[in-house]
Each structure stands twice: as structure tokens, then as C-alpha cells.
Amino acid sequence: MGRLLYDTGRVDEKSKVANERASNKIGKGSFSWAWQFDGTTEERERGVTMDIAVQTISTPHRNITILDAPGHRDFIPNMISGASQADCALLVVDSSIGEFEAGFDRGGQTREHIVLVRSLGVTQIVAAINKLDMVDWSKDRYEHICHQLKTFLVQSGFQSSKTYFVPVGAMSGVNLVNREGQDAAALNNWYSGPNLVEDIVDRLKPPQRDITSPLRFPISNVFKGQGSTTGVWGRVCGGLVQVGERLRILPGDETAVVKAIETETDRVQWAAAGSNVTLYLTAVDPIHLDMGRVLCPPTAPVELASAFTARIIVFDIQVPILAGTSIELFHHSRDVPAAISKLNATLDRASGAVTKQNPRVLTKGASAEVQIAIRQATFGGTGTRSTVVPLEPFSTNKEMGRILIRRGGETIAAGEDNCQLSAFARRRLLLSRYCTRYRSLKSQGEEGVCVGR
């Protein structure tokens, strides 16, 4: 990705040379391109991407936001946070002998990342078959990897018409933007298709944006802004946000005012669904701004759930899922401990019809309706408090309705929220709306009555 930024003019020669010198100084010369994204000291010393990094590239046809996600299994939660904000996926595959097999065998990260991005709603994918120079630009090796990937991509839910493959040699810049020079001669003998940027620009299609629904802005990062402002970065998952607007922070009982909106390159007056932006907020204590919380209009708050019903698909697991199974629930940048409290039914994957009521277990490949309960958080060794997650029905907002389920460091299932809220969550939601209306009336000098039980 660092080489792609350089070849598209996003990184200048001075920054390139500075990264080469600094990486050689600590014995990490082969990671110099990665330093365009890996900016922290720990990432550079370890040579591993640990968190999401954001950059943009511009072409004559598109402005593209790149979310560089970690590939190491230790940082899958961060990868989920980034993938949940993506429209399309660029899967970089190591074609070296033994390396592709290690990632594609059972438990490999190539397989898990494909399953994760598809489960998070990504429907278009470009597979960049990298390091072909390490296998002498072998056409047979390229076709073998493409065949293996294509089969698994279809099994994972990607349509063949929305999956693309391109051979590259990233270190030398072959077929990223062009195929010129001596390094590309061997590839030109058998490949005449598009390069990587042409695949991204000409083939991938931006999805339709939902700008008519209420604003939904899950917070992916929080940092100190200039002056008294606090910056929050994330993706607008529905609706519009504009400068000067007052927003509700959920879970919680606080509001904030949008002082400024910033993209990667410019300050703007508003942002619509699908935009990755930074909001600078005022009139709020930063302690109320955590990753995973959602900004929304005070008059149309997102629903909060402590228990809900979801439809899930079980992945290739060894240990079956039972009622009472402890899990880790992922929703955008939020992950909370939870449990599958009840197995309601197994479903036909094609039609969604119920095939069996109250099954005893769920095995690999099963589609099911289950009840999920968020565990109560403990503090001080004695007390507990309720934990809720901001969710919406998948039919209302697809991005706010998707969930991932992990257990023991392994992703075991993914699905969508049916948003059949628990009685507690529904009462909490109604009460919060009454209180919001009361505060609104009071601020306007009117008398209001707060009713709730």
C-alpha cells in the first residue's frame, strides 16, 4: 500500500527517502514502504500493522479512502473495526511457495479475512496476487492461486462477477499503476489485463447511500482536538451530519455540538452516508466519548439492546454452539462479552424457513435464529451495571444491524440483528426518549412532563 501511494503521487520523494533511512537504521529496511501506514513506534519496531491507518488516493475518476487493516491474528478486533467501514475489499495475497498455503489452510488468516469482510457486508473484492517476482512470474502459480481463491470466495458468498484478480510485484511497483520497464517484461509475456488501480477505479462500483434515514455515526477513534474540541473519527452509516448540529451520544445521556467536519484533505460543512470523516465536538466532556458509542439526532436516537434476537450463520467450527455459550460480540468498534442464551430455531439457508424448533446444538454451516444476552459488567469487585449495545434492525439500517461472534480467538459466526429488544432495553429506550423530549421543551422555556416507568 505504501508503494501504491508513492506511484499515485500521494507520497513525495523526500518522505520515501526518510523512511528508507530510518528503517535501515533499525534493521527494518524491507518494511520502508509499510512505514507510510505504520506510524507508531511499536508498529515500526515489530514490523507488524497493529491498528487501522487511513490514507486517500485520487484518480481522474474517483477519490478513494484506503483503510489499511492488520493481517496478524492478534489484531483481528482492529481489523473488524476497519472492515466494518469499507465498501470494497483489497485482499493482498503472498504468492511465495509455502506462504500462500499457510494463509489459506484451515485456520489461516487469508481464509478468516475473506469470511470477515463478507460477513460485514462487503460484496466486491479485488485479490492482488503479490510477490510473483519471488516465483519467477510463474503463470501456473498465479492461476493455481486464483483457482483456489475463486472457489473459496464463492463459498463465502461473493459473486463471481464481483471478484477480480490481478498479478503484482509491489516492492518493484510492477502492475500497480503500470507495467513498464525491465521488471515487468516477464509478466507482459502472459498477462495483458488491467493493473491494480484500473481494477479499483473502473470495476468497483460505489454502493447507494442511505441519506434519508436518521444520522448514525459509530465512533472508531477519539483524540484531542484544537482548543476545547475533541475529535472523533468514523464512518457515517446513515443520514447526514452538518456543522453546528447538536448530537446525542449513546449509550449515555450526553449531547455534543459539531464545531467542524474534516475529511482526509479538506474541511467541509456537511458529510453524508458513506463518508469517513472526523467530527470536532464541543460542549461535551471527553470522558463520554468512547470507541463504539454512536452519535445520532436527539429526536431519533438509536435503539439500545441488552438482549436481542439475531439470525446467524455458523462458520467452520470444531466445537458446536450450545445454549449458554459464552461469546465476544463485535459491532463496529465495540466488542462486549455476551452469551447465546437460547437457540430458537435452525433455518434453511436459501429460503430462511424454519427447519427445526429449539435445536440442542449448532454445528458448522448451520443457519439459525438465536437469542443473545449482553453480560453484566462488574466493578469494584462487588457491584454490577447493565451493558447495552446500540443496534438497529438489519431491515432498517444494514450497517447498524450486522454483528460478528467470536470465541476463544476464533470467529465462529456472523449475522444480523432482528432487534427484538428485551423488556429492560425497551423500557430504557422509551424513558430516554421521554427525558430527551423534556429537556428539549425546558430549553425552549416550556413546561414538560417526563413520564416513564
Which residue carries 454483528 as its cell?
403
Output Rg (C-alpha) for the chain, integer angstroms. 24
305: which strand partners? 389
pLDDT single digits (tens) 261-286: 998 778 999 999 999 999 999 999 99
Closest to 421 (Cα-Cα) out of 365, 373, 366:
373
Query: At 138, phi and psi to the nearest 5?
Result: -75, 120
Please check the confidence at residue 451 and state whether its pLDDT lies above 60. Answer: no
pTM higher than 0.85 for the full model? Answer: no
The whole-number average pLDDT for the span 111-130 is 92
Do the Cβ atoms of 187 and 174 come closer than 8 Å? yes
Helices (H) and strands (E) in the chain, counts: 11, 27
The whole-number average pLDDT for the span 245-258 is 95
All three cell numbers of 25: 537504521
The Cα-based distances of 267 to 53, 64, 222, 353 in angstroms read 20, 17, 18, 49
pLDDT single digits (tens) 24-58: 988 888 889 988 888 888 888 888 888 888 888 88
Query: What's the whole-number average pLDDT of the chain?
Result: 87
- For the chain, domain boundaries: 2-203, 217-301, 304-421, 424-453
Closest to 164 (Cα-Cα) out of 198, 115, 208:
198
C-alpha–C-alpha distance, residues 391 and 393, integer Å: 7
The whole-number average pLDDT for the span 315-339 is 93
Q: Which fold has domain 304-421?
A: Elongation Factor Tu (Ef-tu); domain 3 (2.40.30)
As its CATH architecture, domain 217-301 has Beta Barrel (2.40)
Torsion of CA 277, 47, 152, 344, to 10 degrees: -60
Quote the Cα angle for 245-246-250, to 5°.
130
Lowest-pLDDT range, 38-42, 228-232, 407-411? 38-42
pLDDT confidence of 426, banded at 50, 70, 90? very low
The Cα-based distances of 398 to 204, 208, 210, 223, 324 in angstroms read 20, 12, 10, 28, 27
The whole-number average pLDDT for the span 322-346 is 94
pLDDT confidence of 391, banded at 50, 70, 90? very high
Those residues with Cβ within 8 angstroms of residue 394's Cβ, 6 or more apart along the chain or in another chain: 401, 402, 416, 417, 418, 419
C-alpha–C-alpha distance, residues 169 and 166, integer Å: 10
312: which strand partners? 368, 415
Please check the confidence at residue 401 and state whether its pLDDT lies above 80. Answer: yes
Do the Cβ atoms of 208 and 187 come closer than 8 Å? no
**Burial call 220-252: b when 16+ CB within 10 Å, e when fewer:** bebeebeeebbbbbbbbbbbbbebebebbbbbb
Torsion of CA 208, 209, 212, 214, to 10 degrees: 140
Same fold flag, 2-203 and 304-421: no
Those residues with Cβ within 8 angstroms of residue 247's Cβ, 6 or more apart along the chain or in another chain: 215, 217, 241, 255, 256, 257, 258, 281, 295, 296, 297, 298
As its CATH architecture, domain 2-203 has 3-Layer(aba) Sandwich (3.40)
- DSSP annotation of 126: E
Write the single-letter amino acid at 67: L
Do the Cβ atoms of 38 and 31 come closer than 8 Å? yes
Which residue carries 460485514 as its cell?
120
Do the Cβ atoms of 210 and 239 come closer than 8 Å? yes
